[in-house]
Amino acid sequence: MTVLPHSTDALHRLSDAVDGFLRGEKEFNLTDPSAHMLVGGRFRTLGAQIGSSVLAGVPDEDIAAIVQPARSACGRSPFMRDEQEWARGYPSDFRLVEHVLAQAVEAAPGTLGWHVETNLQNSAITQQLRNRVMHQARLISDVLTAPRSGPRSVLVIASGAAPDLRHIPPGTVRPGDRFVLTDVDPDALELAQKRLGLLNGFTTAVPGNVFRALPRLAELGPFDLVLVNGLYDYLNDRAAVRLTEAVLTRLCRPGGTFYFSSTKTGNPFRWSLEYLMDWQVIERDEPAVRALLPGRPVSVGYDPTGLALLTHVRA
């Protein structure tokens, strides 16, 4: 292991944090549900020490080697193991999203994995995901309740199983209204179909990569509202600009609304997610988001946790 002199202390602190996290199995009464607070404290300390090691210049491969025992212990949680393995071939897949929304804990009670998963399900990083979904549901509801005589149309990109649309009461939908869902994972769209109930009659699914699906989506538009459900967390600036321009010039109705969310820079959960779960996102601050939309009137807000940027653009 090659270590720079100034990073030696960081490595020692990281090793201590890993040992402390693992000792929780012996030091805490894991059959007591309240122990998730104690386990959570050591989990957060571990994440902080990972971040300190990165900032101290410790090579990624050295950090990964040291945290591997903790990563393996976290893998006893099905929630974390699926993200470690990218069970569906991409991060933060629709099953993980559904798991977070349900606030479910699948790890065996009385285990370290159960306490870690419970801590995550009660943390700001999962709450911001739920907040994003509820914000999108409100935007859809606003379109449906706005005074307008003609049909309303909504497009959800990277829709997953459409948890936002599932919050919409069927009674607010009128004949001629249309919801279009597109996602790279056909199983996500299949689950949406199973769970949308009466809204299925108003919904069209377009599977596949969104850039390849643009011609088909344009045929189904234009749309009063276009939502992008977290995809910008995984798009570099070039791809994000390309998608933004396509939405505003080819998909949105003039005067319509384009919305997307993204993870804010300074996310305190970043290091735990990256090194213990292989969950990497592209973080952006407000200037970086505005740079994706030069010359456009943009409204940027935050979800209640302060971890997610909520961007609204008028076409």
pLDDT tens digits, residue range 42-80?
Answer: 999 999 999 999 999 999 999 999 999 999 998 888 888
The Cα–Cα gap between 104 and 279 comes to 19
- Reading the block at residue 209, the tokens are 């990569």
Give residue-wise pLDDT tens across range 212-237: 999 999 999 999 999 998 899 999 99
pTM for the model stands at 0.91
Indicate whether 130 and 205 sit together in one domain. yes
The Cα–Cα gap between 103 and 51 comes to 27
DSSP string, 274-298: HHHH------B-HHHHHHTSTTS-E
Whether residue 283 has pLDDT greater than 90 = yes
Domain boundary among 89, 105, 122: 122
Displacement of CA 8 from its chain's centroid (Å):
34
Indicate whether 112 and 135 sit together in one domain. no
- Cβ(204)–Cβ(220) below 8 Å: yes
Indicate whether 130 and 35 sit together in one domain. no
Indicate whether 205 and 77 sit together in one domain. no
Give residue-wise pLDDT tens across range 185-206: 999 999 999 999 999 999 999 9
DSSP state at residue 264: B
- Rounded to 5 degrees, φ, ψ at 194 are -70, -30
The Cα–Cα gap between 144 and 136 comes to 13
Indicate whether 38 and 74 sit together in one domain. yes
Indicate whether 111 and 143 sit together in one domain. no
Whether residue 5 has pLDDT greater than 80 = no
Q: Is the dihedral of CA 142, 154, 178, 170 positive or negative?
A: negative
> Residue 92's pLDDT is what?
65
Share of the chain above pLDDT 90, in %: 77
The Cα–Cα gap between 293 and 282 comes to 17
- Rounded to 5 degrees, φ, ψ at 125 are -70, -35
Indicate whether 236 and 224 sit together in one domain. yes
Whether residue 3 has pLDDT greater than 60 = no
CATH code where residue 218 lies: 3.40.50.150
Indicate whether 270 and 190 sit together in one domain. yes
Domain boundary among 57, 92, 122: 122
Beta bridge partners of residue 259, listed in sequence order:
227, 312
Domain boundary among 60, 92, 122: 122
Q: Which residue has the higher pLDDT, 96 or 263?
A: 263
Q: Provide the residue range defining the domain that includes 35.
A: 5-122
Indicate whether 70 and 148 sit together in one domain. no
Residues 6+ positions from 268 with CB-CB distance below 8 Å? 47, 48
- Reading the block at residue 168, the tokens are 């919409």
- Cβ(81)–Cβ(60) below 8 Å: no
> Residue 1's pLDDT is what?
45
